[in-house]
Chains A and B, each alone.
Chain A
Amino acid sequence: MAEEILWGLPVIGYLFLAGVGAGALTVSASVLLRGGGGGFAGQHFEIARYGAFLAPLPLVVGCLLLILELGSFEAGHWFKWINLYKTINLSPMSIGTWLLTGFIGISILYAYTFLPKTPGLGKNKDQLRRLLAWVSVPLGISTAVYTGVLLGAMPARPFWNSPVLAMLFLVSALSTGVAVILLFRAIFPPRKAEEPHKPMVAEYFQKRDQSAYLLTASDLMLVGFEMLVIFLFIMYAHLSVGAVKGSISVILFGGEMSVLFWFGVVIVGLLAPALIELYYVIPKLLNHQPFDAPLIIEIVVPIAVLIGGFMLRYVVVMAGQITGPIGI
């Protein structure tokens, strides 16, 4: 089809990165809050710290990508995007602008509270961190939901104009958020120097496995949930009529984007990671055997989930633009 692709790779990359960052922040903050001072406090804290450090950068990079795609930037007006800050209205993009700005500010501050040395914070560090975590949970969820609302707000784009899309982006954001934490935890394991009160190596590794299990199990749950939401997204569109039914057909069998969707999103991003995770989670879940996923699995599975998250944004953004209203 000779359609105009108005939003290309920069916007796709932005939607993906915003999801990853929002997911990482939400997971980090909710794990921190849930962990409290109880039994798993150590593991929870460790996961929360990875999430906190991983959250701001994707958002900053994503926003820079967005600016690259602006017509004004392409025409050489490099700072015209400042106009976004001169108003606030009910456009999802306007609300999103302020949301993202708040997100970047709060997430950087939140990450700062996790640094070993935090000049200027003093004794109130823990209190501030918890306070920021309370703000971060709704902030992360709204940012992830907003990326879906942004696309969903237009009846002229039948593929996007579905209430399920925002939900799909939220679940995908959370699962990619967990994946990015798993990945960085596997590549850059927590240094023993940071655990001075845990001298026993065996105990340390047990603890590490415990948090890997926590993450893998929650990722598995999210991936499963994502499959359900994708099923609803497709089913409701397919059971509709006219433009909506026509638009969903591009990702169904015989459609222009069906291979990318079924291979890239469903098989690579969902089914394969879910099956592998299931293989390692089941023994612990059912038989209380120790969780021992090899390091390579801890690296490959999150990468597959991240690729799937990117492919989901790619397929959705493209499919939305090669379809439109039918009739005239």
Chain B
Amino acid sequence: MNDVKTSTPVARRDILKTIGLTATVGAGAAILSKPASAAVTTAKPQFGMLIDLRRCIGCHACSVSCKAEFDVPLGATRSWVEYIEKGDYPNVSRSFLPRLCNHCSEPSCVDVCPTDATWKRKADGVVVVDPDICIGCKYCLQACPYDARFINPVTGAADKCDFCLHRTIKGLEPSCVNACMGGARIFGDINDPSSEISKRIAHEPVSVLRQEQGTEPNVYYIAADHSDENIAKSRGRYVRVDTHRRQQERR
């Protein structure tokens, strides 16, 4: 729990260090031999999340804290937890799949926005929406393969998880990470090799959702159940997904 809590500030200090280092060493490397420069990471910071489902108990604390943090309107969800039920008695299981925007490295939502109201921040790779520019055309809602977006009825603009930008710029971790009682969520810079999250991603068998969509998601899972209702149905197997959102089916 403790290491999870401090992971963000550490990660952030590390980013600064890395950037500083890159600048100095980069300059030196130009003079030095080539292998020296290859050892220095030049990757831009990319905030990401790793959700360890072995520690998730499906309590919805993340969803609730997110609702409270952003006063998310009724019926809309930035962060939600799906329940996956499968099998025939007595061989059954129920597992949980917390969901949020993946802050993709190739975000298809950004590609389609006609007003440049949504973009991927260079500083931390977070995909954000400016509600003052967004006209609510819903193109990005259509384009996101994860159904992560919704139209906020109050602002009339597209809305979604922003990794609690107002918290992370102050060095705090996102509200859902803070609220997770199982310590299942790890947040940090996945491009910083010394961060807790990138070490865990390197050490553990991780997966992302719908990799075939090619958006290169930055939310990773450990022990995710990728069972899908529709595929199971066509195979004659029983899988039931409870999305706990207004959209009762995964899209």
Given A83-B115, A87-B116, A91-B113, check contact A74 B136 (CB 8 Å).
yes
Q: Is A153 an interface residue (CB 8 A)?
A: yes
Which residues of B, 218-251, contact A by the 8 Å Cβ criterion? 226-228, 230-231, 246-251
The smallest C-beta distance from B78 to any residue of chain A, in angstroms, reads 15
Given A153-B112, A154-B112, check contact A71 B156 (CB 8 Å).
yes
* Contact count A vs B, C-beta below 8 Å: 128
Instruction: Please report the C-alpha to C-alpha distance between residue A94 and residue B139 in the assembled complex, in whole angstroms.
Output: 11
CB–CB A84/B213 < 8 A? no
Q: Is B142 an interface residue (CB 8 A)?
A: yes
Q: Which residues of B contact A153 (CB under 8 A)?
A: 111-112, 143
Q: Which of B136, B156, B247 contacts A4 (CB 8 A)?
A: B247
Instruction: Please report the C-alpha to C-alpha distance between residue A324 and residue B139 in the assembled complex, in whole angstroms.
Output: 15
CB–CB B156/A77 < 8 A? yes
Q: Is B210 an interface residue (CB 8 A)?
A: yes
Interface residues on B, range: 35 or more
CB–CB B114/A75 < 8 A? no
The smallest C-beta distance from B8 to any residue of chain A, in angstroms, reads 27
Q: Is A275 an interface residue (CB 8 A)?
A: no
Given A154-B142, A156-B213, A326-B228, check contact A3 B251 (CB 8 Å).
yes
A79, closest chain B residue (CB): B135
Instruction: Please report the C-alpha to C-alpha distance between residue A83 and residue B135 in the assembled complex, in whole angstroms.
Output: 7
The smallest C-beta distance from B98 to any residue of chain A, in angstroms, reads 12
CB–CB A75/B156 < 8 A? yes
Q: Which residues of A contact B210 (CB under 8 A)?
A: 325, 327-328
Q: Is A6 an interface residue (CB 8 A)?
A: yes
Could you say which of B10-18, B56-64, B147-155 contacts chain A?
B147-155
Q: Is B209 an interface residue (CB 8 A)?
A: yes
A150, closest chain B residue (CB): B139
CB–CB A156/B138 < 8 A? no
CB–CB B231/A326 < 8 A? yes
The binding surface of chain A is classed by DSSP as: loop
CB–CB B135/A71 < 8 A? yes
Which residues of B, 197-219, contact A by the 8 Å Cβ criterion? 209-210, 212-214
CB–CB A71/B114 < 8 A? no
Q: Which of B108, B133, B135 contacts A156 (CB 8 A)?
A: B108
Instruction: Please report the C-alpha to C-alpha distance between residue A6 and residue B116 in the assembled complex, in whole angstroms.
Output: 20
The binding surface of chain B is classed by DSSP as: loop
Instruction: Please report the C-alpha to C-alpha distance between residue A131 and residue B132 in the assembled complex, in whole angstroms.
Output: 41
CB–CB A156/B144 < 8 A? yes
Which residues of A, 296-312, contact B by the 8 Å Cβ criterion? none
Q: Which of B115, B141, B154 contacts A6 (CB 8 A)?
A: B141
> Taking each of A77, A92, A96, A328, which has the highest tally of chain B beta carbons within 10 Å of its own beta carbon?
A328
CB–CB B111/A328 < 8 A? no
The smallest C-beta distance from A275 to any residue of chain B, in angstroms, reads 37
CB–CB A72/B111 < 8 A? no
Instruction: Please report the C-alpha to C-alpha distance between residue A4 and residue B144 in the assembled complex, in whole angstroms.
Output: 14
Q: Is B50 an interface residue (CB 8 A)?
A: no
Given A87-B116, A154-B143, check contact A75 B153 (CB 8 Å).
yes
> Taking each of B112, B117, B133, B227, which has the highest tally of chain A beta carbons within 10 Å of its own beta carbon?
B112
Question: What 1/0 mask marks residues of chain B from 146 to 182 whose CB sits below 8 Å from any chain A CB?
Answer: 0100011111111000000000000000000000000
Interface size on A, residues (CB 8 A): 41
Question: What 1/0 mask marks residues of chain A from 56 to 96 whose CB sits below 8 Å from any chain B CB?
Answer: 00000000000001111111110011011011011111101
Instruction: Please report the C-alpha to C-alpha distance between residue A87 and residue B113 in the assembled complex, in whole angstroms.
Output: 11
CB–CB B226/A156 < 8 A? no
Q: Which of A72, A80, A91, A327 contacts B112 (CB 8 A)?
A: A91
Q: Is A163 an interface residue (CB 8 A)?
A: no
Q: Is B125 an interface residue (CB 8 A)?
A: no
Instruction: Please report the C-alpha to C-alpha distance between residue A83 and residue B134 in the assembled complex, in whole angstroms.
Output: 8
Q: Which residues of A contact B142 (CB under 8 A)?
A: 6-7, 154, 156-157, 321
Q: Which residues of B contact A3 (CB under 8 A)?
A: 247, 249, 251
Q: Which residues of B contact A90 (CB under 8 A)?
A: 111
Q: Which residues of B contact A81 (CB under 8 A)?
A: 135
CB–CB A89/B230 < 8 A? no
CB–CB B117/A83 < 8 A? yes
B134, closest chain A residue (CB): A72
CB–CB B158/A71 < 8 A? yes
Q: Which residues of B contact A1 (CB under 8 A)?
A: 249
The 10 A-B pairs with the shortest beta carbon distances in the complex, nearest first, are A71-B136, A75-B156, A93-B114, A94-B114, A156-B145, A71-B151, A72-B156, A2-B248, A72-B136, A324-B251
12 contacting pairs across A/B (C-beta < 8 A): A69-B138, A71-B152, A72-B135, A72-B136, A73-B156, A74-B153, A91-B113, A92-B112, A93-B112, A155-B213, A328-B209, A328-B250
Task: Report B's interface with A, CB cutoff 8 A.
Answer: 97, 108, 111-117, 133-139, 141-145, 147, 151-158, 209-210, 212-214, 226-228, 230-231, 246-251
Task: Report A's interface with B, CB cutoff 8 A.
Answer: 1-4, 6-7, 69-77, 80-81, 83-84, 86-87, 89-94, 96-97, 153-157, 246, 321, 324-328
Known contacts A7-B142, A156-B142, A156-B213, then 10 further A-B pairs from the complex at CB < 8 Å, ordered by chain A residue: A7-B138, A71-B157, A91-B139, A92-B112, A96-B114, A154-B143, A156-B108, A156-B144, A324-B145, A327-B210
